[in-house]
Structure 1
Amino acid sequence: MTIVGKALHFSIDLALVSVCLAGVKRNTGLTPKLDSIEDNHMRGWAQKYLNVGESCYDYAVVSLGASQYFVRK
């Protein structure tokens, strides 16, 4: 696998973890404690990372809600 392929695979894995964390936040209210990160720059990157998961989660919910294969109960 090339470097580009590995980078793409790794970035998709990171996005899936972020989406899972967004699902946990939406369903339980539990979220990572970002206040424990001392470096403001790293805390900002962590918040951006979690926001990517929130955006992907919202997109998936809207897409599946508009699909004929899923129904809300």
Structure 2
Amino acid sequence: MAILGKAVHFSIDLALISVCLAGVKRNTGLTPKLDSIEDTHIRGYMLKYLNLGESCYDYTVASLGSSKYFARK
């Protein structure tokens, strides 16, 4: 059971890092340079990983935008 807990914890940490990278991309325009990765399979997985962060970021912004506890300034 401990291995499953560690795997879930590690997965959530990776998702949070991806969301942070998506926030940096949206606010500053800076994005990881994936062109330097030679292997196309690894590059494809990295694109999927970054797209996961973009999706989570969009969902979070939409949810918080429709909440009564947050306001846009």
TM-score tier by shorter-chain length is over 0.9
SS at match of 2:62: helix
Quote the residue 2:66 is aligned against: 66
Quote the residue 2:33 is aligned against: 33
Which amino acid counterpart does residue 29 of structure 2 have in structure 1?
G
Shift of 1:7: 0.2
Superposition CA RMSD, Å? 0.8
**For each residue in 1:21-67, what CA deviation from the matched residue of structure 2 results, as whole angstroms up to 9, or x when unmatched?**
00000000000000000000000000000000000000000000010
User: TM-score under structure 2 normalisation?
Assistant: 0.98
Give the % identical residues. 79
Q: What is the number of equivalent residue pairs in this alignment?
A: 73
Quote the residue 2:50 is aligned against: 50
Shift of 1:16: 0.2
Consecutive unaligned residues of structure 2, counting only runs of 5 or more, are none
Consecutive unaligned residues of structure 1, counting only runs of 5 or more, are none
Structure 1 segments, 4+ long, off by >2 Å, are none
